[in-house]
Chains A and B, each alone.
Chain A
């Protein structure tokens, strides 16, 4: 299979900062019949105008002539119209990239020569075929105890047997307890959060997998997407595959649900905590795959659809003859490979714009500003690899349960970090090396326990839903999973992808590094969390405080509302009233006392500051109803907000401060059709379900804070 058709870029294309890469690519690696071009404004206009008309011909005669002479049969934007994110797509220049397909009898070189003559074509690039970076695995039985990569308490016998020079069988004892050290985080801090989205750029993820229920965002305009097909009608239909499902399971398989395996950031099902979510960006199906320009579009899709981590277990394919190993010539090709500009720009886009609005500010509901693109280092056992060696990504090498470099992992100074990818050897006791086999209760051999056991799609090597795989493909999602777990805990306004990257790499365990086969320090989830300070957190929102009269007071234990995760760190509290004529505050150590001093509304801002001067604030809404028993003009808390009309399913009510609403709904002939009590506040409106009511007008009476309100609402 052909892999990298690269280099050969025109004029201003800058060299991507690829560590250890050269710019020349052997002619033999250039794919005939496909290329990407980057065009100027005039050609953008011509192409977009033609696309809008559904015309293949553009108003640029030069371009049309070139296309005709090359027998171009297809052209389209590499990065399709991004809707609400189109403006920043254009700002990044990604709208200039076009994928073209032409007669495969024409070499890339000849096509490049012809296209160079067209004024307005700013650059031409070949495309790479890409491949998954997994090594073969054998499926087996679902159980956490086999997941040594996630939690290794040394109870699993990982002994290898091999034959020495004299033909004697020797045991290689492995009792290192190698895992990604996630247990302390699960125990003390978090098991994942559903507001973190990881884009899995891979095969499709099995949305109906029993261990991924509710985890995978369904296909749709704002959800998962299939980049393999160009068919408009099937672009949101995900075709699941075992590789993508294995990767997703490592990150987010539902934890503690009594079945299968545990993902690193899979939440806690028993406690009702949902883990991180997966956005499936499908670039492979069972028969086909994208070129790297399609992969670039898939990476960008993640940034535009809520993901802050892009998980990529694929890379350029250097095994041209598909014989399973790289010849010297193929290695030379790999050495000289470069990242295409179209892919580089997509990665840069993700890193800069994930989690941000169109102006580049962190979105209010995004846990992180910017994104992290994580790539598998590749399985060719060489010092090179594209795109994983690009500076903008985190490259992940693979190890076995002995912390040692896996035989297949690419290596080099460009590899940022390593993680368990499996290092399974032979499964036959008569082979020179034999790794223990995972045998199920029925005595059936399920797989090589030095490899990694996780979710698969359907039947994988005769076993359903779970199986063994190995490769840097499997190592990579460990880093993505830990990254997602850290974002689940540390994510907040101001938390950046740069900080996350630093924590992952600088917090990793460098004690197992082997200089001869450098694959970076070993992933250490707890180490990453402890690297640098952890700011204090507001663990829950303050309840609104409503005082019936001036002179009343309330005391709150602030340790119930804030926590600092740094061991032995102390937090100091400060509180401030927005209006001291309404409330005054006093903080003594961990206790906040709020005094009602007069009728009105105000807010109290409480700030927790740790010893490193990092702080977090939280606000309390206050209302004082009366100045005293004789006050016959109580504060009107009737700031009741009623949901927009007409009502289709439910009617919502919000109040300035938290309170209880008594709601009664009467039909147009006076029949009371709904009544009940609802809790509400400004941030959490009460929702009255009106689905069972026929279309018509209804009179809704709402009693809150001693006052009655009446509205006529329309139900349709």
Chain B
């Protein structure tokens, strides 16, 4: 734990470089690649710290995100696995995105994120966790940037409420040839999820998340998930992006789960730039 705090202290100063809100480097680090979370405005938990409170099972999944097709399409493919065992949680994720060609070249810009996370319950109700990873982008041939990234969270579980607080997307700054150093879009993140209503096979869960970015702006996300018999899911949400790197959008989605296989989809609308974004994913529970 002490080592985790020391690492966090080392990373925070680089995140605190002064830039205009919304101009931080590698903004794709703030995208939600989970269709289920994206469908509720991106308000799902982004931390491994909540895993010790989940069912003791191993899940693996893959998803495809067709992002921002109205502006310039980026296709993201993600895969990962997560599980819980005796109060410990763990996860491993990989994402790769490819955008449209850079003007005047045949170069396709790409993004890559690799993250691993561990967490453990420090008591029946409280757990802590961290994600560590690597993020890189190839802007065009001969021009690449990369950074090590980390998240540090604490999570609590009180009855039907799960909540979390932590530092998200900490990491080393990115140098520019002409404009100096740019920090990652780091933030203080707070969020929660609770069962608002439950009747027989009907369950309504509400989610919220808020971020205060170190560049001086904030965002809010909220969403609801209705499920029937844990087989069918209907989701909706909204993100207020403010001046942050990821703008506002509304979202909706569906999910089906049978025989340990869950199919989720999300669709974004009511956004100047993110409309028609679509995400589809499969999760296998073992």
Question: What residues of A have a CB within 8 angstroms of the CB of B105 in the complex?
Answer: 645
Name the interface residues of B66-85: CB closer than 8 Å to any CB of A: 68, 71-72, 74
In the assembled complex, the Cα of A711 lies from the Cα of B103 at a distance in Å of: 6
A515 within 8 A of B: no
Count, A-B residue pairs, CB within 8 A:
124
A691 to chain B: closest residue by CB: B179
Question: What residues of B have a CB within 8 angstroms of the CB of A670 in the complex?
Answer: 68, 71, 246-247, 271-274
Question: What residues of B have a CB within 8 angstroms of the CB of A693 in the complex?
Answer: 23, 179
Question: What residues of A have a CB within 8 angstroms of the CB of B100 in the complex?
Answer: 699, 712
Among A667, A692, A693, find the residue whose CB has the most chain B CB atoms closer than 10 A.
A667
Question: What residues of A have a CB within 8 angstroms of the CB of B27 in the complex?
Answer: 667-669, 671, 696
Chain B 80-108 per-residue mask, 1 if CB under 8 angstroms from chain A, else 0: 00000000000000000001111111010
In the assembled complex, the Cα of A712 lies from the Cα of B99 at a distance in Å of: 9
- In the complex the two chains form, is B273's CB within 8 Å of A666's CB? yes
Q: How far is the CB of B113 from chain A (nearest CB, A)?
A: 13
Question: What residues of A have a CB within 8 angstroms of the CB of B274 in the complex?
Answer: 670
B151 within 8 A of A: no
In the assembled complex, the Cα of A649 lies from the Cα of B176 at a distance in Å of: 10
Chain B contact residues: helix, strand, loop or mixed: loop
Residue B272 contacts which of A667, A672, A695, A713 (CB distance < 8 angstroms)?
Answer: A672
Question: What residues of B have a CB within 8 angstroms of the CB of A645 in the complex?
Answer: 102-105, 140
Question: What residues of B have a CB within 8 angstroms of the CB of A697 in the complex?
Answer: 99, 102, 109, 137, 139-140
A28 within 8 A of B: no
- In the complex the two chains form, is A668's CB within 8 Å of B103's CB? no
- In the complex the two chains form, is B174's CB within 8 Å of A669's CB? no
Question: What residues of B have a CB within 8 angstroms of the CB of A710 in the complex?
Answer: 71-72
Residue B177 contacts which of A699, A713, A716 (CB distance < 8 angstroms)?
Answer: A716
A715 within 8 A of B: yes
Q: How far is the CB of A275 from chain B (nearest CB, A)?
A: 31
Among B102, B107, B179, find the residue whose CB has the most chain A CB atoms closer than 10 A.
B179
B28 within 8 A of A: yes
B14 within 8 A of A: no
Question: What residues of A have a CB within 8 angstroms of the CB of B225 in the complex?
Answer: none
Q: How far is the CB of B158 from chain A (nearest CB, A)?
A: 33
Question: What residues of B have a CB within 8 angstroms of the CB of A494 in the complex?
Answer: none
Q: How far is the CB of B74 from chain A (nearest CB, A)?
A: 7
In the assembled complex, the Cα of A144 lies from the Cα of B237 at a distance in Å of: 74
B25 within 8 A of A: yes
B182 within 8 A of A: yes
Question: What residues of A have a CB within 8 angstroms of the CB of B71 in the complex?
Answer: 666, 670, 699, 701, 710
Question: What residues of B have a CB within 8 angstroms of the CB of A646 in the complex?
Answer: 102, 139-140, 143
In the assembled complex, the Cα of A668 lies from the Cα of B137 at a distance in Å of: 11
Question: What residues of A have a CB within 8 angstroms of the CB of B174 in the complex?
Answer: 694-695
B244 to chain A: closest residue by CB: A671
A642 within 8 A of B: yes
A648 within 8 A of B: yes
Name the interface residues of B187-237: CB closer than 8 Å to any CB of A: none
- In the complex the two chains form, is A714's CB within 8 Å of B140's CB? yes
Q: How far is the CB of B137 from chain A (nearest CB, A)?
A: 6
Q: How far is the CB of A429 from chain B (nearest CB, A)?
A: 65
B7 within 8 A of A: no
- In the complex the two chains form, is B139's CB within 8 Å of A669's CB? no
- In the complex the two chains form, is B244's CB within 8 Å of A712's CB? no
Question: What residues of B have a CB within 8 angstroms of the CB of A695 in the complex?
Answer: 25, 137, 139, 143, 145, 174-177, 182
In the assembled complex, the Cα of A669 lies from the Cα of B247 at a distance in Å of: 8
- In the complex the two chains form, is A696's CB within 8 Å of B104's CB? no
Chain B 98-129 per-residue mask, 1 if CB under 8 angstroms from chain A, else 0: 01111111010101000000000000000000
Q: How far is the CB of B108 from chain A (nearest CB, A)?
A: 9
In the assembled complex, the Cα of A201 lies from the Cα of B126 at a distance in Å of: 80
Chain B 26-48 per-residue mask, 1 if CB under 8 angstroms from chain A, else 0: 11101100000000000000000
- In the complex the two chains form, is B176's CB within 8 Å of A716's CB? yes
- In the complex the two chains form, is A667's CB within 8 Å of B179's CB? no
In the assembled complex, the Cα of A695 lies from the Cα of B20 at a distance in Å of: 14
Name the interface residues of A662-714: CB closer than 8 Å to any CB of B: 666-673, 691-697, 699, 701, 710-714
B22 within 8 A of A: yes
B266 within 8 A of A: no
Q: A648-B178, A716-B177 are in contact. Are A671 and B246 (CB under 8 A)?
A: yes
A154 within 8 A of B: no
B29 to chain A: closest residue by CB: A669
Q: A694-B182, A716-B176 are in contact. Are A671 and B241 (CB under 8 A)?
A: yes
- In the complex the two chains form, is A642's CB within 8 Å of B109's CB? no
B110 to chain A: closest residue by CB: A697
A644 within 8 A of B: yes
Q: Which 7 A-B pairs have the closest CB atoms?
A: A694-B182, A670-B273, A694-B25, A711-B103, A669-B27, A714-B140, A648-B178
Binding site for B on A (CB under 8 A): 642, 644-646, 648-649, 666-673, 691-697, 699, 701, 710-716
A-B contact pairs, 12 of them (CB 8 A): A648-B177, A667-B245, A669-B27, A669-B68, A669-B247, A695-B176, A697-B102, A712-B99, A712-B101, A712-B102, A712-B103, A714-B109
Kindly list 7 other residue pairs between chains A and B, CB separation below 8 angstroms, not including A669-B246, A715-B139: A645-B102, A671-B247, A672-B272, A691-B179, A696-B137, A697-B102, A716-B178
Binding site for A on B (CB under 8 A): 19-20, 22-28, 30-31, 68, 71-72, 74, 99-105, 107, 109, 111, 137, 139-140, 143, 145, 174-179, 182, 241, 244-247, 271-274
